Structure 1
């Protein structure tokens, strides 16, 4: 593997800078966003630019993001890894309901298989742990789907270090997806655990949901000018420099913004610049 790639689950090499599909849907990840043809163009451009990790979820739309991925890219390139998520039910643009019963997880996984038009999902992530269902039952359902060949690898979303530690003996965990970015490092302990265990860490809101482009520190601007780059590119470059297991998947509905994000892979921060960024604190 090179510094630009990560071996997901020990057998699936992916480029660490991927693409997330949430921004292809409307406000609150509900319904469509703009023209369908624009969303398809972004997905196709991502693969043209060498993206090999696409992160989606059954509740983006709901169902819409997975359908767009299949419409744009199926049949998939052999090196493309599709990651999706289940375990949350949507009933409106601001209504999210955790659903971790084994029978619900199975039904969600099988629905994702149909929408994505695949027999096996490369990476199936539990979108949230259900506090009303024993962890062993939730992960047991995913492990059973894995034994049946419907899931290749299992991931977790929004977990604490303690939850991840408890999960590891129950099922092979290939990825964690927690909120993490230049100005929000609340999951630093989870990241450190992932690095020790060789688990991919897919940071969500890698650009602080736009905050980095609004009120970034002077230091961020200075480094961006030095590299003739944007603030967003520096923020993504910092993630790639921060840990070899970090695999950010920034999303956008714009081809131009997609190209800008992917160009961050070519920004080589010095150790001194990374230390300056390490020292930044939320405004």
Structure 2
């Protein structure tokens, strides 16, 4: 279904969200020299996002080991009149538990997340890993925990990750990920699928459909993260200060300069068709993803309030079918460049 406007969207049970949300991931204040200044800019960006109509704020306990949650919680404490739709994740931090999904660890992590966020409930809580231990030993426990949390209204909706591997993976590798996702999807029965999705993400077949058609058919919401590929799709070095992982390396020795030149060439094609005004490439990316389905919310990262302004102000009118076709062709070219680059560099450098 094609989105025709930017009104509130039904993401999941009890959640009508603005289609453009905020991805909240910032470095710890003690890990970088200007950490406190960046946290201040982050808070200013959150304020600007609310002024622009943002309702949905996405983070995780693993983002700087809870620091991102705490800064977002600080914003909530400073603005108690705001009804923020909060999303977080669990599954990357094991702590002293046997496994991230073992025993009551999910409950313990949620308690800490709620304390960090200064909140009584989450609108969305996502299982952030496909690793459920040897032979999926902790899968049943994780499912039971999440459903219990939903029943007692500590969370409103259960999320799970979408198929995920490095962007330069072979079709066979993506097929394995799709099969694993489908197996878990049928057991977990999530309300929402959370996934990193941008121009570098190849089409993955799920029961003969793409991710958008598949989730729509099952009545499941969709959260798309990293839509600007950490700034690569708008010709910048990074989407947010904490985004240390780009979909492709853009600088360095060997084939790096060649790859960067080819990516710039593809972006020039978009500028030729859509113009070179500020925010144009952001609009192309954000709008094209938002129009893939009415059940999806796109969460974009930022480092300044000005970036938030640009993302919200650039959306404009819907793209036409012709424009969407041009974008699809260019993005297919970008994916081809990544595949070519994969033949010349270690796979570990292409991890998403």
TM over 0.5: yes
**1:210 equivalenced with 2:219 (yes/no):** no
User: Does structure 2 retain, via aligned residues, the 8 Å contact 1:212–1:232?
Assistant: yes
More strand by share: 1
**1:197 equivalenced with 2:215 (yes/no):** no
Residue matched to 1:272: 322
1-structure distance, mates of 2:203, 2:108: 33
Residue matched to 1:25: 27
Q: Which runs of 4+ in 1 moved over 6 A?
A: none
Residue matched to 1:262: 312
**1:238 equivalenced with 2:243 (yes/no):** no
User: Does structure 1 retain, via aligned residues, the 8 Å contact 2:102–2:138?
Assistant: no
Matches within 5 A, 1:173-188: 173-187=190-204
TM-score, normalised to structure 1, is 0.86
Could you list the per-position Cα deviations for residues 75-101 of structure 1 after superposition, in whole angstroms to 9, with x for gaps in the alignment? Answer: 2523x311111111289xxxxx97222
Q: What is the CA distance between 1:174 and its match in structure 2?
A: 1.9
Could you list the per-position Cα deviations for residues 197-223 of structure 1 after superposition, in whole angstroms to 9, with x for gaps in the alignment? Answer: 232221222112222123343332124
Q: What is the CA distance between 1:162 and its match in structure 2?
A: 3.8
User: Does structure 2 retain, via aligned residues, the 8 Å contact 1:237–1:264?
Assistant: no
Q: What is the CA distance between 1:234 and its match in structure 2?
A: 1.2
1-structure distance, mates of 2:91, 2:64: 15
Q: Can you give the 5+ residue segments of structure 1 that lack an aligned partner in the other structure? A: 92-96
1-structure distance, mates of 2:28, 2:225: 17
User: Does structure 1 retain, via aligned residues, the 8 Å contact 2:74–2:118?
Assistant: no
User: Does structure 1 retain, via aligned residues, the 8 Å contact 2:10–2:295?
Assistant: no
Could you list the per-position Cα deviations for residues 164-217 of structure 1 after superposition, in whole angstroms to 9, with x for gaps in the alignment? Answer: 544455445221112211232344633331122232221222112222123343
User: Does structure 2 retain, via aligned residues, the 8 Å contact 1:180–1:204?
Assistant: yes
Structure 1 vs Structure 2 CA RMSD: 2.7
> How many residues in Structure 1 have an aligned counterpart in Structure 2?
274
**1:107 equivalenced with 2:112 (yes/no):** no
Q: What is the CA distance between 1:18 and its match in structure 2?
A: 0.6
TM-score, normalised to structure 2, is 0.70
Could you list the per-position Cα deviations for residues 126-147 of structure 1 after superposition, in whole angstroms to 9, with x for gaps in the alignment? Answer: 1112241343322221111112
2-structure distance, mates of 1:169, 1:106: 23
**1:247 equivalenced with 2:268 (yes/no):** no
SS of 2:64's partner is: coil
2-structure distance, mates of 1:47, 1:255: 11
Matches within 5 A, 1:1-283: 3-4=5-6, 5-22=8-25, 24-25=26-27, 32=35, 34-74=37-77, 75=80, 77-78=82-83, 80-89=84-93, 99-132=100-133, 133-159=137-163, 160-168=177-185, 170-187=187-204, 189-214=210-235, 215=264, 216-225=266-275, 229-280=279-330, 281=332, 282=334, 283=337
User: Does structure 2 retain, via aligned residues, the 8 Å contact 1:182–1:239?
Assistant: no
Highest RCO, 1 vs 2 (Cα 8 Å, sep ≥ 6): 2
Q: Can you give the 5+ residue segments of structure 2 that lack an aligned partner in the other structure? A: 164-176, 236-263, 338-352
1-structure distance, mates of 2:71, 2:317: 30
